Structure 1
Amino acid sequence: MQTVVIRSWSELQDQLFGDMWNRDLRRFRSPFLFRGVGQADFDLIPSLKRLGGSYWDLERHVLRNFRKYAHRSTVPHDDDWNWLALGQHHGLPTRLLDWTYSPYVALHFATAEISSYDRDGAIIMANYRQMAQSLPEGLQNPLTRNGSHVLTAELLREYAGSLEELDEKSAAHGEEWVCFFEPPSLDDRITNQFAVFSMTSHARLDLSRWFAERPDFARKLVIDHALKWEIRDKLDQANVTERVLFPGLDGLSRWLARHYMSPEGAHLRAKDSGWSAQQEIPPVQE
């Protein structure tokens, strides 16, 4: 994966928007999806892996119990893909990772946690159009039929009816791949964040290694920590804030707490948080 260090707002805009022109459509349409993280070292670690141990064996148990205790009416269709999307949306450990079509939403997540303003952040840009062409034929066919590069839960269900079936197919063919799928519009948060999920062909797939072996599929923009305040203030001016991305009183409160915090207050917050480089769970795109 190509890495680019960003030290100015203008450099950032050039990297985020430089490859948008689509000659076929004659429109500016980016081939990238974006993921923002507050600490550059913690970029592609799914929540399932953070369970530790044989986390890949726990996935089906976590999902089964989530389905058992959640209300059936909370998903539009009773299948693994809709339940996975709902679980990921509410913090359930899954193999999924959150991405967005919006570079500014990704920038929000790279700068939302003020206690990490003394550490470099990052934006990971994944070329979802190229990645779609590397998928197994059974996944490419519904994409081609629908003129799309991103799957939905319904299209995933055509290929595999469950996580178990998906893993069995991947093991049988010895395939490693990463797809993107759009979650159902469960609430305004998913809609406002322009959310997309990535999913791996098996739970043990290391995304950092996978992208490293395919350098054309992604690039990583490392944001110098000295630039974070400027980015944050400009995002606030553009109304890319918790108040919009997390509709409701919780989002409003988070926005106000951050908006009125001074750099001195941010320093105290970082000190009080007790954060260290050895921590396993950083603030990342939700």
Structure 2
Amino acid sequence: MDIDLVPANFLEFQEMLYDIALTKHNRFRSNFVFRGVGDKCWGLETSLQRMGSHAASIERPLLRNFLKYAGPGEIASDALLYRLALAQHHGLPTRVLDWTTAPKVAAHFALSNENHFGVDGAIWCIDVASARRVLPPTIHTILAAEDAFVFSVEMLEKYKTLASFDEIDPKNDFVLFFEPPSLDGRIINQGAVLSLMPGPELDLKNYILRPENKDLVKRIIIPAAIKWELRDKLDQDNVSERMLFPGLDGTARFLTRYYSMGPNQTAGKVVPVNPMT
């Protein structure tokens, strides 16, 4: 794709990942959010869309029953964005998609499964400032009034249902980005941001690749040849499951991967290096 940036080595990858221009306040603050994928051939399908062709018909029953079966006090708000974020956080298929404001966190997720280390991965990068400019006026004015980078769930709390959200601008597609509430350390440490479109079947990849949206996106390829180097250097920087999934589950996932055979799958013995001895 003509949006692709292909680094020749690890250093070029680093430069592409942190190609951040100075702001008017002379700060290096990126307008991008990032999503890492293990295989560059993967698109930007939501967990709901991955359910299959009946995704649109099951969206409302899924969310309705998730809310119905929740225990006392487990649903703290009736705002749609809060409920979608909560459902996504707990693994329910939804129309929202996970992103991060942290480039290295996106790189971690692109390199979290060694089964995909034999193929090129990618980091999708979307310019939120550009996406914001083409939002429907109804919600663009809210974001502008708050002088905010992305929405919070409180800014759009008047939208209580999927139907009401889908009617914001029925003639035009758009994508908005919002920060989920800080439900736990996982969301905080991952620098989580969620994307949302006005319809369960809308394809984010198709939307951002339209000619009129060409300024919204770039994609940094992670060549298979540098995946192991990048993975080990992320671990050295403490960007791992242990930090991104606080608790014993994340620690166990990190250790399982850390003590794997690595690129030398035929080696007879694993010899860990300090400090993980």
Q: State how far apart, in whole Å, the 1-side matches of 2:136 and 2:232 are.
A: 43
From 187, 193, 196, the equivalent of 1:196 is: 193
Q: 1:175 maps to which residue?
A: 172
Q: 2:164 maps to which residue?
A: 165
- Correspondence list, 1:91-240, <5 A: 91-158=91-158, 160-171=159-170, 174-213=171-210, 214-240=213-239
CA contact (8 A) 2:79 2:156 kept: no
Q: 1:274 maps to which residue?
A: none
- The change in CA–CA distance for 1:20 and 1:92 in structure 2 (over 3 A counts) is farther
| 1:156 aligned partner, one-letter code | L
Q: 2:45 maps to which residue?
A: 45
Secondary structure in structure 2 of the residue aligned to 1:256 = helix
Q: Number of matched residues?
A: 264
CA shift for structure 1 position 267: 8.2
Q: Which 5+ residue runs of structure 2 have no aligned equivalent?
A: 268-277
Q: State how far apart, in whole Å, the 2-side matches of 1:9 and 1:25 are.
A: 30
Q: TM-score, normalised by structure 2?
A: 0.91
Q: 1:5 maps to which residue?
A: 6
Q: Aligned residues: percent identity?
A: 41
Q: State how far apart, in whole Å, the 1-side matches of 2:81 and 2:72 are.
A: 14
CA shift for structure 1 position 264: 5.2
Q: Which 5+ residue runs of structure 1 have no aligned equivalent?
A: 269-286
Q: 2:273 maps to which residue?
A: none
> In the TM superposition, what whole-angstrom CA distance separates every residue of 1:189-237 from its partner, at most 9, and x where no partner exists?
0000010000012111111110111111011111111111010011011
- The change in CA–CA distance for 1:266 and 1:245 in structure 2 (over 3 A counts) is farther
Q: State how far apart, in whole Å, the 2-side matches of 1:177 and 1:264 are.
A: 42
Secondary structure in structure 2 of the residue aligned to 1:154 = coil
CA shift for structure 1 position 70: 1.6
- The change in CA–CA distance for 1:128 and 1:267 in structure 2 (over 3 A counts) is farther
- The change in CA–CA distance for 1:4 and 1:155 in structure 2 (over 3 A counts) is same
CA contact (8 A) 1:75 1:186 kept: no
Q: State how far apart, in whole Å, the 2-side matches of 1:44 and 1:64 are.
A: 25
Q: Give the structure with the higher percent helix.
A: 1
Name the Cα RMSD after superposition.
1.7
Secondary structure in structure 2 of the residue aligned to 1:263 = coil
CA shift for structure 1 position 266: 5.7
